[in-house]
Amino acid sequence: MRCSNTVNGRRRLRIAALVALGAAIGGGGCATGGAPGGAQSGPPPAATAAAGWVSGEDSKQDVRRAATGAGVGTLAGGSAGYYMDVQEAKLREQLDGTGVGVTRKGDEITLSLPGGLAFAPDSADLNAAFGAVLDAVAAVLKKYDKTVIEVAGHTDSAGSREHNQVLSERRAGAVAAYLEKRGVLKSRVVTIGAGETRPIASNASADGRARNRRVELTLAPLAPGKG
């Protein structure tokens, strides 16, 4: 038990140090805006896996070109990993206890927004109470602007494939539009509806279907030589 506490303590110190150093990279003010509390600390079961960037490498390069064309600066060679470390730490700090999962794979970060928190059933209208969570996300994305963002909608397999595809597209569009209204540059964002094609759990159970109903935001660095 003592060993476990020591490891957790070191991790907390590392995150705190990265957040403190974040101002040197991101500039501007800290992320503000509260988030609904009361949930358990850490990612919920729905966020234990993530599809990641699903629209393909061509899409990623297209949005990178759009972002740089709009004046977003690129990261210096070799600094992408550290930049994403700092951004990950800030996102984990801001989203702790909100129900949003944060997953890291290489230099990419994926935020998993559970559909049950963000939307009413079978709707693409954002729940008003979830706005505070997206406000916190938008504040971090604005501060750490040397990234591009894929907003991907995902559904379970209940209902027709065509209905699920359209619903996933509408939900991705709703999240992207909200972030843009909060100041996230439109040229940094690409949206896609994956429908029911990228499950992260079995659709055979209610719990699995709940995990699959989500919107994922995947952040990739704007850096030379990044695929």
Tens digit of pLDDT for each residue in 128-144?
Answer: 999 999 999 999 999 99
Phi, psi of 159, rounded to the nearest 5 degrees: 85, 180
Here the tokens at position 118 are 């963000």
Q: 172-191 pLDDT, tens per residue?
A: 999 999 999 999 999 999 99
Q: What are phi and psi of 39, to 5 degrees?
A: -85, 165
Please check whether the domain covering 2-221 is classified as CATH 1.10.287.3510: no
* 131: nearest Cα among 98, 102, 109, 169: 98
Which tokens in the block code for residue 41? 């600390």
Which residues, 6 or more positions from 120, have their beta carbon under 8 angstroms from its beta carbon?
127
Q: Considering only CA atoms, which of 186, 14, 187 is closest in space to residue 88?
A: 14
- Higher pLDDT: 76 or 63? It is 63
Q: Which amino acid is at 124?
A: A
- Check whether 88 has a pLDDT greater than 80: yes
Phi-psi category of 99—alpha, beta or left, where left has phi over 0 and alpha has psi -120 to 50?
A: left
Tell me the two tokens of residue 26: 């991101």
% of the chain surpassing 70 pLDDT: 78
Burial level of 46, CB count in 10 A (0-12/13-18/19+)? buried
Beta carbons of 172 and 191 less than 8 angstroms apart: yes
Please say if the pLDDT value at position 117 is more than 90: yes
- Amino acid identity of residue 131, one-letter, is G
Closest by CA to 154, choosing from 117, 202, 113, is: 113
Helices (H) and strands (E) in the chain, counts: 7, 5
Q: For the whole model, what pTM was predicted?
A: 0.79
Q: pLDDT band at residue 78, thresholds of 50, 70 and 90? A: confident
Per-domain residue ranges of the chain: 2-221
Measured in degrees and rounded to the nearest 5, phi and psi for residue 23 equal -60, -30
